[in-house]
Amino acid sequence: MSIHKNQLIQNIDLSNDQLVKEALKRKEAVLSANQALVVVTGKRSGRSPKDRFIVRDASTSDTVDWGVVNQPIATEKFDQLWLRTTEHLQNKETFVAHLHAISDPEHYLPLQVTTELAWHNLFARHLFVIPSQYNADDKPSWQILNAPGLKTDPARDGVYSDGAVLINLTERRILLVGMYYAGEMKKAVFSSLNFILPMQDVLPMHCAANRGENGDVVLFFGLSGTGKTTLSADEDRYLIGDDEHGWSANSIFNFEGGCYAKCINLSKEYEPVIWQAICEQAIMENVILDEKTQQPDYANDKLTKNTRAAYPLTHIHKRVLEDHVAPPSALIFLTCDLHGVLPPVAILDRYQAAYYFLSGYTALIGSTEMGHTSDIQATFSTCFGAPFFPRPASIYANLLLKRLEETSSPVYLVNTGWTGGSCASGGHRFPIATTRAIVHAICNGDLKKAKSESYTGFGFKIPIQLPGVEQNLLNPAHNWLSEAEYREEAKKLIAAFQKNFKKFSVADEIAQAGPQG
């Protein structure tokens, strides 16, 4: 439906097919041989964390963990830029979608998403939830304005570049200016939910989730590139979601209505679920097409290593249809260790779980953030998603401990990184087949039954034997050619953990649960 008023044209709640046609007609996108839309996002091919701000006002001043991640901006600056954006869009054709974040009937958030581009509106319909009926009277609606064609002025707008993402948590408004990369929309909503939900006794999580035939639910925490989407998209299990979930006292629920998968080096053999999901109506960002066949060249990183595909959950044949599912049978913390020191799997007690949750140790691989010049960098990302958590980290860690105490869910640290040496000294990454065998052992209970031993310097338990995994891989200390080089690398990693953890003020049981070498 279109509304014409003073030259304003609003396309309201267009279908996916209609938005595809609009995007092609307006030359915002081209069509790939797999029938997915292909778009280019320009100089920003990932998130711009330095350009994200939260409005600092009476309700957020003492509740947001202000700093490099959560940058404050004044209400007046937000209001001025919001007005400038509405004026920019006034004489343009725009696209409006009425959606939800979260499908759970108790915790859902109504969204009204207004975009300058048709494909951005399609992205919103993929990544958020299309409600069976929309009733804004049930709950106050969040307003999202996305105007990539407008630029910000640092001197005038109080920002740092020609683009910005501004979140007004008090007034339920999200503003995106100069941002073609669509992932900014989903992460702005995720950040908002991460502020709201803890006060409702819900732990928001940067994790994927799936469910087995017997109803067992497994959560996969991790940064982009560590295997969260790949490992959760398992042909033998039902996908719940690939990135964002909430854990209440009684259930797990997805925040989203779709998936946003990395495409670089996508393999039909190793990632068949994702491969098949990228079809008609899907969106591929910055993926290069073969000039003759128009087939996507997933190995081509000419524009970025952070190539992406957005598609609705309906593109996944084996998926969970319910709004919420039972609490988890297991949690998996995915880490990518560049040092080659961490084992392929470790068994954590609940205090160790809190320690490694707060640490969020991993590597940035083809990072989703702009500004990283190196392909691979080690990092500590609190809660396995530091850029998206506005409140102090202890709030999320305490909620995790609470949920673990309620459910006794086991927690495992799974390393998808290097072994037999560091990334810089001739080591190699664990084969995906090895990691999948470990995940299957977690899901089917084999790991619970396995004999274990303590891992020197770290204190957690590791299995001695595991079906489908070469025994020599289970203990990295036995997997290096030089024992002296292993010990030296282990000292570096332990020191890095200890240095990073000094910023946290937590109970002694948590602080002492980390590496002590």
Tokens coding 225: 């590139």
Tell me how far apart the alpha carbons of residues 422 and 517 are, in angstroms, rounded to a whole number: 18
Count the neighbouring beta carbons within 10 Å of the beta carbon of residue 345.
28
**3 state SS of 215:** coil
The verdict on whether 391 is a catalytic residue reads: no
Token look-up 């503003």 returns: 175
> Is residue 61 flagged as an active site residue?
no
The question of whether 21 is a catalytic residue gets the answer no
7 token code pair: 């030259």
**d(C-alpha 356, C-alpha 397), whole Å:** 10
Bridge partners (DSSP) listed for residue 46:
none
Output the DSSP codes for 451-480.
Answer: -EEEPTTT--EEES--TTS-GGGS-GGGT-
Give the largest Cα separation in the chain, rounded: 75
How far is C-alpha 268 from the geometric centre of its chain's CA atoms?
22
Catalytic residue chosen out of the listed positions 60, 152, 224, 422: 224
Count the neighbouring beta carbons within 10 Å of the beta carbon of residue 337.
27
The one catalytic residue among 126, 211, 228, 391: 228
Rounded CA separation 87/83 (Å): 6
Query: Is 84 among the catalytic positions?
Result: no
Name the active-site residue from 45, 48, 103, 229. 229
- Residue 47 known to be catalytic: yes
Closest CA to 143 of 170, 121, 110: 110
| Cα–Cα distance, 404 to 124 (Å, whole number) | 33
- Which of 104, 216, 243, 337 is an active site residue? 243
Looking at beta carbons, which pairs linking 377-382 to residues 24 or more positions away fall under 8 Å?
A: 378/338, 378/339, 378/496, 379/223, 380/496, 380/500, 381/223, 382/358
Indicate which residue of 187, 305, 319, 461 is catalytic.
187
Give yes or no: 436 in active site: no
Q: Give the chain's radius of gyration (CA, Å).
A: 23
- Out of 308, 339, 429, 440, which one is annotated catalytic? 308
Catalytic (active site) residue 339: no
**Marked catalytic residue, from 32, 41, 45, 47:** 47
Q: Which two tokens stand for residue 296?
A: 């996507």
- Structure-token pair, residue 495: 């020191």
**Catalytic-role residue among 100, 206, 211, 262:** 206
E-strand spans in 213-327?
217-221, 238-241, 244-247, 252-254, 258-262, 283-285, 288-289, 296-297, 308-312, 324-325
Residues with active-site annotation: 47, 187, 206, 224, 228-229, 243, 308
